[in-house]
């Protein structure tokens, strides 16, 4: 429980979390007045976006990396299957095309190698997406091999990894932010244009240039578009605000790597310590002349660093190291 204090802006709740103290100002019951009614002892919950956070004011109880991972686990809680257990990848797998979650399909008659994940959207309505299925044992083998590559690369080329991860995160964040800001600007411009259009429609209706029926239809369509754009603008503003706060935390990923220098098997706790999301694509044929060759793309988004190609980074580091030795010789 936090401590409560009164202030000019109302009631303020002060409570500690793992590594910072949050001051949460509780607005009044009458939102327009800004005062908390003395007749009510009820504390109104304030939006987390309005919290004032002071970081590093006390010694943390647990490591920051552990705290952040636990918060992600709490946000995507796994539900037990009808068979009484929870899938290792539950809450982590997503369809690369529609963005829907992927469900584990299994029965009492399936052998372990027959169990598979499938796109939830496709399972509900086959006209909305495609299969996107993958066998569980295959996915486990791929993810385990990828994590071993990550651990080996970070252990051997830690300095290179820090630089590459930071540069990649900055490029991707700047590109995505630029796209969202451009969409935000265009949406705001369109909202202003719709205001002018609606005003002219009203004037034309008053002057008799536009019939009442036509005015009602056009104004309804424009107002609906304006409402949708306003919601989109608000959503984009929140995303841009949150994304500008985010920063890559390479050191936290390195700390996780040092715990598992020799990873022999995969389990749910290890998986959630490293992985944030996994995207599964549909199987496709890259070369029409070779129809038997099929490819499925799997993108692993890691905690703290995002998507990172460790195999390519390893090749580049080896090439740079070899070139450096050649230059010295």
pLDDT in tens, 172-196: 666 767 777 788 888 888 888 888 8
Q: Which of these, 26, 88, 14, lies nearest to 53 by C-alpha position?
A: 14
Q: What's the average model confidence in pLDDT over 141-154? A: 90
**76 band by pLDDT with thresholds 50, 70 and 90:** low
What backbone phi and psi angles, to 5 degrees, belong to 82?
-65, -15
**23 band by pLDDT with thresholds 50, 70 and 90:** very low
- Output the pLDDT for position 34: 43
CA distance 307 to 168: 9
Spatial contact of 68 and 303, defined as CB atoms under 8 Å apart: yes
- Output the pLDDT for position 318: 83
Q: What sections of the chain are H helices per DSSP?
A: 64-75, 120-124, 136-156, 158-207, 212-245, 250-257, 268-274, 310-328
Judged by phi (left if over 0) then psi (alpha if -120 to 50, else beta), residue 34 lies in left
User: Would you say residue 56 has pLDDT above 80?
Assistant: no
CA distance 197 to 246: 39
Residue 282, burial from CB neighbour count under 10 angstroms (0-12, 13-18, 19+):
middle
Average pLDDT for the chain: 76
Could you tell me the end-to-end alpha-carbon distance of the chain, in angstroms, rounded to an integer? Answer: 66
- Output the pLDDT for position 79: 61
The dihedral over CA atoms of 125, 130, 131, 136, expressed in degrees to the nearest 10, equals: -110
Q: Is the pTM of this model over 0.85?
A: no
């Amino acid at each position: 429980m936090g401590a409560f204090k009164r202030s000019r802006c109302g009631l303020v709740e002060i409570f500690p979390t793992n590594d910072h103290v949050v001051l949460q100002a509780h607005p009044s019951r009458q939102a327009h007045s800004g005062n908390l009614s003395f007749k009510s002892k009820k504390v109104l919950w304030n939006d987390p976006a309005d919290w004032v956070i002071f970081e590093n004011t006390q010694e943390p109880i647990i490591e920051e990396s552990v705290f952040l991972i636990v918060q992600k686990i709490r946000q995507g809680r796994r539900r037990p299957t009808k068979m009484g257990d929870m899938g290792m990848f539950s809450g982590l797998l997503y369809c690369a095309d529609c963005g829907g979650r992927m469900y584990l399909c299994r029965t009492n008659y399936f052998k372990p190698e027959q169990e598979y994940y499938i796109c939830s959207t496709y399972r509900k309505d086959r006209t909305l997406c495609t299969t996107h299925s993958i066998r569980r044992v295959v996915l486990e083998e791929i993810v385990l091999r990828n994590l071993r590559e990550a651990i080996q690369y970070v252990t051997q080329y830690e300095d290179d990894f820090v630089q590459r991860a930071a540069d990649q995160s900055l490029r991707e964040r700047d590109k995505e932010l630029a796209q969202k800001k451009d969409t935000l600007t265009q949406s705001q411009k369109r909202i202003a244009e719709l205001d002018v259009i609606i005003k002219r429609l009203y004037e034309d209706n008053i002057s008799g240039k536009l019939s009442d029926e036509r005015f009602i239809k056009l104004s309804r369509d424009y107002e609906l578009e304006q409402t949708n754009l306003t919601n989109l603008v608000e959503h984009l503003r929140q995303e841009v605000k949150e994304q500008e706060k985010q920063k890559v935390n390479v050191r936290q990923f390195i700390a996780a790597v040092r715990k598992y220098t020799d990873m022999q098997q995969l389990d749910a706790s290890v998986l959630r310590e490293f992985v944030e999301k996994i995207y599964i694509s549909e199987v496709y044929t890259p070369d029409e002349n070779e129809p038997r060759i099929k490819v499925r793309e799997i993108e692993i988004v890691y905690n703290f660093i995002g998507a990172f190609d460790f195999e390519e980074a390893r090749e580049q580091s080896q090439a740079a190291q070899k070139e450096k030795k050649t230059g010295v010789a």
